[in-house]
Amino acid sequence: MSTEQLNQVIEAIISGKYSWACVLILRFSGYNPLQYMPYRTYNRLIKQNYNLGNRNKTASSQPSKILKRC
């Protein structure tokens, strides 16, 4: 996990977004979060945290690219 990715996880934890932090850890570790949670839950988390990805300007946090990979 790179320093930037670790910072994203820490930011999510500090913000109290523990579910989002779990999604990030799974993705950054090379796992598919959909194998560990229902699609509806994953989709909701992606939609709620879309702004975090835009603020950080990381392509991996954009929902369209995330859903295409999984």
pTM: 0.69
With respect to residue 9, please indicate whether it lies within any of the assigned structural domains: yes
Q: Which helix (H) or strand (E) holds 45?
A: helix 39-48
With respect to residue 65, please indicate whether it lies within any of the assigned structural domains: no
With respect to residue 23, please indicate whether it lies within any of the assigned structural domains: yes
Which residues span the domain enclosing 34? 1-51
Q: Are 32 and 70 in contact (CB under 8 A)?
A: yes
pLDDT at position 35 is 94
With respect to residue 66, please indicate whether it lies within any of the assigned structural domains: no
Q: What is the mean pLDDT of each run of 10 residues along the chain (70 residues)?
A: 92 94 94 94 91 55 51
With respect to residue 59, please indicate whether it lies within any of the assigned structural domains: no
Domain count for the chain, please give it. 1
With respect to residue 19, please indicate whether it lies within any of the assigned structural domains: yes
